[in-house]
Amino acid sequence: MRILIADDEPLARVRLEIMLRQCPNTELVGSVGSGQEVLERLVATHPDVLLLDIAMPGLDGVALARRLSKLPSSPQVVFCTAYAQHALDAFQLHVADYLLKPVVQARLCEALLRAGRLRVRATDNDPVYLSARVRGETIRISLDRVIVLQADDKYVEVQHEEGRALIEMSLKALEKAYPERFLRLHRRCLVPRERLLSLKLGADGRTLARLLGSDLTLQVSRRNLPTLRKFLRSE
């Protein structure tokens, strides 16, 4: 089971790393100090479980867990916090467990075992695929691996984690089929909601979107900018 730790206190991360060595079938794949770093490391590390502090600067643990809950495929979250008052938030977000600091070894192993069982149940659900054409061959692309969809004259190009492909569905049809999955950056571009990391102002005054799992910075139209800003504020 692959574990990612997120805590803004270095000593707390070290303590969890030491205790993980005593929990069977675990592999530490990363240890970061902020919620933003978690989003940036997800694609590279593919964790099964996230050990997550709540009181962190910037994107705190509750806001991050809420955002992760909308991913098609997300790690199980185990909160590790000094604050008991967030337990209701944890319950509403359906996290795997809620550990109070100082975390006890036996409770950590128990929480990881529970998270592992929940992870297995979650992966039993059938993923959703797009049908695409690559060099005359029809392939399937899982929606949770899609990075961006961009309209061409006759087709929509899908950039995904393994490459690029063309599909015959229009952007409008994709929005209608999966209304909770995509955000529109401009007339010819959709991105999965979970991929939108941030918006920044370019040197030429245009607003650009940063995406999870890609070095692309895509232009945002003025028409869609308010919706995207509202989405990021609500996450």
DSSP line for the chain: -EEEEE-S-HHHHHHHHHHHTTSTT-EEEEEESSHHHHHHHHHHH--SEEEE-SS-SSS-HHHHHHHHTTSSS--EEEEEES-GGGHHHHHHHT-SEEEESSPPHHHHHHHHHHHHHHHHHHHTSPPPEEEEEETTEEEEEEGGGEEEEEE-SSSEEEEETTEEEEESS-HHHHHHH-TTTEEEEETTEEEEGGGEEEEEE-TTS-EEEEETT---EEEE-TTTHHHHHHHHHH-
Q: What is the pLDDT of residues 199-232, one digit of tens each?
A: 999 888 899 999 987 888 899 999 999 999 988 8
Kindly report the pTM of this predicted structure: 0.60
Tokens of 166: 């063309």
- How high does pLDDT run on average in the chain? 88
Stretch 115-137: mean pLDDT: 72
Q: pLDDT digit string (tens) for 177-202?
A: 887 789 999 999 999 988 898 999 98
Segment 137-156 mean pLDDT? 86
pLDDT at 121: 63
The predicted pLDDT at position 79 comes to 95
Residue 126 has pLDDT above 60, yes or no: no
108 pLDDT exceeds 90? yes
2-123 in CATH: which number? 3.40.50.2300
- The pLDDT value recorded for residue 37 is 94
What residue spans define the domains of the chain? 2-123, 129-234
Identity of residue 68:
L
User: Is residue 191 within 8 Å of residue 218, measured between CB atoms?
Assistant: yes
Residue with tokens 């607003």: 207
Domain 129-234 has CATH 2.40.50.1020: yes
The model's pLDDT over 33-88, given as tens digits with 9 standing for 90+, comes to: 999 999 888 878 889 999 999 999 899 999 999 888 877 668 999 999 998 887 77
The pLDDT, as a whole number, for residue 120 is: 67
| Dihedral angle sign, alpha carbons of residues 200, 202, 206, 210 | negative
% the chain with pLDDT above 90? 50
Which pLDDT does position 169 carry in this prediction?
A: 85
Residue 13 has pLDDT above 90, yes or no: yes
